[in-house]
Chains A and B, each alone.
Chain A
Amino acid sequence: MPVEKFRSIEEMNAAPIRSGRDGGFDRFIRHCARFWKLAPRRYPRGVVRFRSYEDAQATPANSRED
């Protein structure tokens, strides 16, 4: 079903996304690839320690754009 029609954006947002036969992993990787294409960045090398996972999540990755 290449085209789906909806009567409202709410209906569209609630509709399940139809994916191909490949599993979630490949869709996940392709989605990340699109993200990277739109917002390219490179990370430095190394290891950083945090006193909690919350601290790690609150610390932006030290990235720079390509």
Chain B
Amino acid sequence: MESRRCYPWRMDRDEVVHVLRAFEEVGLEYVLIGAAAMGIHGVVRATEDLDLFIRATADNVERLKSAFRLVYDNDPNIDEISADDLLGDYPAVRYYPPSGDLYFDVVTRLGETASYESVDSMVKEVDGIEVCLATPQALYELKRGTVRPLDHRDAEALRQEFGLEDD
């Protein structure tokens, strides 16, 4: 395929696939949100990161760390990801892996309402991996309520693509 010859695969396809596979292998309870989820739904724009909700339990945070360790060769920085933080005062953690090509925004709750449990999700298969991602409607709801112009553009793209309406 022409594009594969022309471009180095940053964001590296294999890296993303390895991460998603590791999530599946360790049984991480997560929901992909953001541009990656939009992309899997076919609404494509570039992004620098992968955003995900995870279920806010200590066990699940350990699964997240196990998955990252599998992919990133036991990067010692992963030890800094803490259940105390994610279940406490720091519900959002950004992890920069050693590859240097992308980063992860991991979230346990968004404002007072949105969380792993509250976001409508679905499963789609990517490279034989079952990927859990927010539904188009859920992505639309998440994005239309923010202050970022980028999110408003995303919301409009989702609305047009899927004929969505406000709940």
> What residues make up the interface of A, taking CB atoms closer than 8 Å to B?
19, 23-37, 40-57, 59, 61-63
Contacts and interface: CB of A to CB of B under 8 A. Distances in A.
B136 to A, nearest CB: 11
Interface of B: 3-4, 6-11, 13, 16, 35-36, 38-49, 75, 77-78, 80-81, 85, 89-98, 100-103, 105, 107, 110-111, 126-127, 146, 148
A24 B41 contact: yes
A2 to B, nearest CB: 13
A31 B44 contact: yes
Contact of B7 (A30, A44, A51, A61): A30
A4 B85 CA distance: 52
Nearest to A49: B90
A53 B39 contact: no
Contact of B80 (A31, A47, A52, A55): A47
A29 B42 CA distance: 11
29 contacts: A19-B42, A23-B40, A24-B42, A25-B40, A25-B126, A28-B38, A33-B10, A34-B46, A36-B11, A36-B101, A37-B8, A40-B10, A43-B103, A45-B98, A46-B77, A46-B95, A46-B96, A47-B78, A47-B96, A49-B90, A49-B92, A49-B94, A53-B91, A53-B92, A53-B105, A54-B110, A55-B92, A59-B94, A61-B96
